[in-house]
Amino acid sequence: MANFAIIRTPPQHSPRTGGSNIQSARICTKMNIFSQLYRKKNPTSHLFATFAPINRITIKYPAMKVYKFGGASVKSADGVRNLRHIVDGEENLFIIVSAMGKTTNALEEVFTCMQKGDKQEGLDRIKRIVEYHDSIITDLWGAPTRIEQVDLLFGQLRNILVDTTYRTSDAELWYDTIVAFGELISTTIVSEYLKHTGIDNRWIDMRTTFVTNQRHKDAYVDIKASEPRLKEALENTGVSVFVGQGFIGAAPDGTTTTLGREGSDYSAAVVANILDAESMSVWKDVDGVLNADPKIFPDAVQIAELNYLDAIELAYSGAQIIHPRTIKPLQNKNIPLYVRPFGDKRKPGTVIRAMSAPVDVPILILKKNQVLLTIRSRDFSFVLEERFATIFSLFERFRLKTNLIHNSAVNLSLCVDNSWHIDEAVNALRANGFDVMKTGDMELLTIRGYTDELWRRYAKGPQVFIRQSTQATVRVVRKR
C-alpha cells in the first residue's frame, strides 16, 4: 500500500479563479445549479460533472509510474488478461485505458444516428456494442456475469440517444458525450477484473479530475486546475493502483469533453506530470517506435531512442507514435516516456527523453484523409500577403487543422485534415472574396532523412501536387 504524506494548507487562492475559496465555491455552486436544472429534465443523464470547492492539498507521493493501454491492447479478454499480467506486482501505479477495440468508431456511428434522428438504428448499434463487451466479460469471468456499473453506463447511453433533442450547433458537445462511454465502460471492466483477480485498485472518473477548456472534440487539460482534483481523488483510498480513462475530461460548465482522437496518451502524460511520476509507459502492439508504419512500409525498423524535440516534430507531422500534445507535460518535468511491446513486457521498447543518440535511419510518416485547399484572392492581394489573417481566422473559427502551407504570389495552398466543417469554411472563404478549389482524397507524406532512392520513389510523379524540401526533410502532398 502506498504511503501518502498529506499536508493541508489554509484556504488562500482558488487554483481555478485566482480568488478566494469563497469565490471558488460561488462558481462551483453556479455550475452545480445549472447541472441540477438539467438533471431535473434529464434525471438519468451524466452529461454534467459536479465540481465541488476544495481546499488546497499538498500530497507527498512515492515514486509513481503511469501505464497507458490503447484500444488494441484491450480489444479481447486475452488482452485484458495480458494487461493484468503486465501490472502484476506493481505498486504506486496509475493505469490509463482507452476504449476497447473499435468501440470509439462504433459510438461515432451511434452519434451519426442521433444526427439523423434514427433512434432505432442507434439503439440497434448500442445493442451490438453491449454484446461485444458482454462477450469479453463472460470470457474473463468464465460464465455470463453482470457488472452493475457497466449496465448502468449502457442505460445512460440509451437514455441520451432517446431523450436528446439534437441541434446541429451542439454537434461537438453530443459527440463528446456519446463517445466518452467507450472509456468509461472499458475502465470499469478492467478495474473490476483486476479486483476479481486479486489486484485491489480504485476506479477514477477523469471527468471529475481533468478540468479542460470549453473546446469540445479537441480540448486541452488545464493542469493547474486539475492538479488538486486529481490528488484529492487519490487521497485516503487505501490502495496504490488506480485505473482512469484516457481521452476524456470535463469543461468548466461540467459537460464532457474529449482530447482529440488518440488523446489517451495525452491523458497519461498529464497524470504523470501532476503526480511527478518516475516514468510513463505506452503499451502498444509493436516492439517500440518504428521509423515507418509497417502496414504501409514493410521494411520498417525500430528506433531505440528519441529526444523530446524529435518526438514532437514527428508527432506533429502525423507519426502514430504518440498524441502530439503528450510530450510537453513530460518534458516540463523531465519524465521519460517508454513505448513498449504489449506482447512481451521484458523487451525494452523505445525511450523518449531529454537527450538521445541521433536517429540514423530515414523516418517515413504518412498522414491520410487530407484535403488540399487552393485559395486565391479575387483582387490578387496575396502579392502583399495582406489577407492571410482573414484566412487563418476563418480556419480557427471552423477548427480546420493545417498540416502544410505553400504559397505563391497569388495562391495559398493548405493541406488540412478532413473535417465536418470544411464545406462551411470553403463557403465562408468565398463569401470573403476568395476563390477556393477543394481537392479531396489526398495524403501527406513526410520523409525525414530522405535518400535519393526515397525521393525518386515517393516525391516524383503525376500524383504529386505539392513538394517541399529542406536539406533533411521532404514533404509531399499527393493523390491517394
pLDDT, one tens digit for every residue, the chain (480 residues): 444 444 444 444 333 334 434 344 433 444 444 444 444 445 445 555 555 555 555 555 578 999 999 999 999 999 999 999 999 999 999 999 999 999 999 999 999 999 999 999 999 999 999 999 999 999 999 999 999 999 999 999 999 999 999 999 999 999 999 999 999 999 999 999 999 999 999 999 999 999 999 999 999 999 999 999 999 999 999 999 999 999 999 999 999 999 987 799 999 999 999 999 999 999 998 888 888 888 888 888 889 999 998 888 777 777 767 777 899 999 999 999 999 999 888 898 999 999 888 888 899 999 999 999 999 988 776 655 678 888 999 999 998 999 999 988 788 999 999 988 999 999 999 999 999 999 999 999 999 999 999 999 999 999 999 999 999 899 999 998
What whole-number distance in Å separates Cα of residue 296 and Cα of residue 318?
14
What whole-number distance in Å separates Cα of residue 268 and Cα of residue 70?
11
Return the closest-CA partner of residue 438 out of 376, 379, 367. 376
HEC assignment per residue over the chain = CCCCEEEECCCCCCCCCCCCHHHHHHHHHHHHHHHHHHHHHCCCCCCECCCCCCCCEEEECCCCEEEEECHHHHCCHHHHHHHHHHHCCCCCEEEEECCCCCHHHHHHHHHHHHHHCCHHHHHHHHHHHHHHHHHHHHHHHCCCCCCHHHHHHHHHHHHHHHHCCCCHHHHHHHHHHHHHHHHHHHHHHHHHHHHHCCCCCEEECHHHCCEECCCCCCCCECHHHHHHHHHHHHCCCCCCEEEEECCEEECCCCEEEECCCCCHHHHHHHHHHHCCCCEEEEEECCCCEECCCCCCCCCCCEECEEEHHHHHHHHHCCCCCCCCCCHHHHHHHCCCEEEEECCCCCCCCEEEECCCCCCCCCEEEEEEEEEEEEEEECCCHHHHCCCHHHHHHHHHHCCCCEEEEEECCCEEEEEEECCCCHHHHHHHHHHCCEEEEEEEEEEEEEEECCCHHHHHHHCCCCCEEEEEECCCEEEEEEEC
What whole-number distance in Å separates Cα of residue 158 and Cα of residue 127?
9
Tell me the pTM: 0.78
- pLDDT value of residue 408: 84
| Pairing of the two strands 256-258 and 305-307 | unpaired
- pLDDT value of residue 416: 96
Take residue 272 and report the three cell numbers written for it.
504523470
